[in-house]
Amino acid sequence: MKITRQLTSILAAMFASLVITTSFADSPKSVDMPDRHSVEVQGKVNLYRVQIEGMKLGEGVDQADAELFVTLDSDPKMVYALELKKNSPEANRVMAETLRAAYINKLPVTLYHQIAIKKNNNHKILMVQFN
């Protein structure tokens, strides 16, 4: 009985890792197009806000738990968020630095953000690029 539970746990973990791996199957085929789960927005960064870990922004379905928030001049009411937690991917820090450089130098950027299911004004940043 105990061996069956352990085997079941191992198989479940293996299956979960397969699901996580296959979730990236929609990655873009080239740099000219985003993946099918992203929305592209362009503009100049007009707000660059960094805050300590644990603070949130917004309320209800629009609440975001992140350390970096930016808005673009093309739609200042939309807020784009990026986590900079200790366990966040290194790419998040690079994107934060890229956005900071764009803000300081008033350069236009293209953001790809997650398609929001329930959120109206806060979106998780997936990619940042200079045009």
3-state class of 104 per DSSP? helix
Domain 38-130 class in CATH: mainly beta
Q: Say which residues have a Cβ less than 8 Å from residue 60's Cβ, sequence separation at least 6.
A: none
Question: What residue ranges do the domains of the chain occupy?
Answer: 38-130
Give this prediction's pTM: 0.69
Q: Is the pLDDT of residue 18 over 70?
A: no
Q: What is the pLDDT of residues 92-106, one digit of tens each?
A: 999 999 999 999 999
